[in-house]
Structure 1
Amino acid sequence: MLLSKHIGPDLLPVVVATVAALVVGLATLEAARIFLSVLLAGCMTAITLQDWRSLRVSDFTNAMVAVIGITAWFVGVDPVGVATSRTLLQIARDATLTGGALLLVREFYFRLRGVEGLGLGDIKLGAAAGIWIGWENFALVVFCATLGALLFVLGSTMKHGHWPAGRRIPYASFLAPAVWGAWYLAQVFR
């Protein structure tokens, strides 16, 4: 607990996640990708904690994810890890398709139920994720995040007896780890 006293309880999980990403990266990734793994893990952990605690994801954190991904591309390390680097237009396409897919879900749900089902922070996270994982892997990320959220609701329902109709789910808390997981697996199996 000495470490948590010096860096604060909010920062401790981010530090732990980045160190874990570093250790895993050292064992499996090349140098530039280790650095990306650490940065992405730190950002995704921060997003997870933000959403879990406040049901919000800051624009700053989402912007950091996007800026780090684009900066990596500019210095010659495409975050997706494809054999041939994507063009900037392809990166914009990936961000638009992934963020746009979540925006469509949000709009459809609002028209169906009259309630916002996804926050704009989730949609921005989806767009930033497109820079890192491409549109091709996004369906798997959404599937894993949604499965995690459903298991959370099931566990909470089993423990407390019911799930109130108006209770919100911190979806980015499930989406962010799924983004890092999909990114990491794409690096290892490329």
Structure 2
Amino acid sequence: MLILTGLALVAAQIAWQDLATYTISDVALIALGVLSLAARLSEAAFLGVPPLTALGLAALDGLLCGAAFFLLREGFYRWRGYDGLGFGDVKLALAGGILVGTDGFAWTVLAASLGGLAVALWLRGRGQASPEPKKLAYGALLAPCLCLVWLLSAGLPQLQAPALTGIG
């Protein structure tokens, strides 16, 4: 329960700051990373996975998710000539990968992207644009979705096992 409360508070802070300034605090990202690691180690203990194995897999998941967003960021910049994804989002992907693993992160990105499309369509339907043209605070969508995916998978051992064992 303590981890859930911490995750919810950190996700709310990330969402609020990203909506207000299009930035994500490094302090919030470190807090998310620490809570994510605590969650993974708790899950590992519950499933009987050795702590060093859980740490290694959590690090691998974080690096893979962060690298995927980094490559997406760089590819978009080279294609369009401007940043379409902030570096805070890349660091959020790294922390999110630690929390939910690569499988869970794919579901998180899907949920956040669908949410972003819904927000953009809703704003367009109301005749409003975002405060800055061509900008959407993706971290404000991604952080709550990370918590939601983690919460939905936390009580289901069959969804936890792939993230901890690397089988998926």
In 2, Cα distance between equivalents of 1:67 and 1:161: 38
Q: Which amino acid aligns with 1:64?
A: A
Q: How far apart are the structure 2 equivalents of 1:53 and 1:162?
A: 15
Question: 2:79 matched to which residue of 1?
Answer: 112
Q: CA RMSD in A?
A: 2.3
TM-score by length of 1: 0.74
**What is the CA deviation profile of residues 112-136 of structure 1, one whole-angstrom value per residue up to 9, with x for unaligned ones?**
1111111011111110011110112
Tell me the equivalent position of 1:39: 6
Q: 1:50-129 to 2 correspondence within 5 Å?
A: 50-71=17-38, 76-78=41-43, 84=49, 86-129=53-96
1:158 to 101, 125, 129: 125
Identical-pair percentage: 31
CA offsets, 1:132-174, max 9 Å, x none? 1011211110011011011101000010166799331000010
Cα separation, 2, equivalents of 1:99 and 1:163 = 26
Size of the aligned set, in residue pairs, is 155
| Counterpart position of 1:186 | 153
Tell me what 1:139 maps to: 106
TM-score (norm: length of structure 2):
0.83
**Cα offset for 1:111?**
1.2
Give the unaligned 5+ runs of structure 1: 1-33
Q: Which has the larger radius of gyration?
A: 1
Distance across 1 between alignment mates of 2:99 and 2:9: 14
- Mark the CA change 1:156 to 1:60 in structure 2 (over 3 Å): closer, same or farther: same
Instruction: Identify the structure with the greater helix proportion.
Output: 2
Look up the SS of the partner of 2:23 in the other structure.
coil
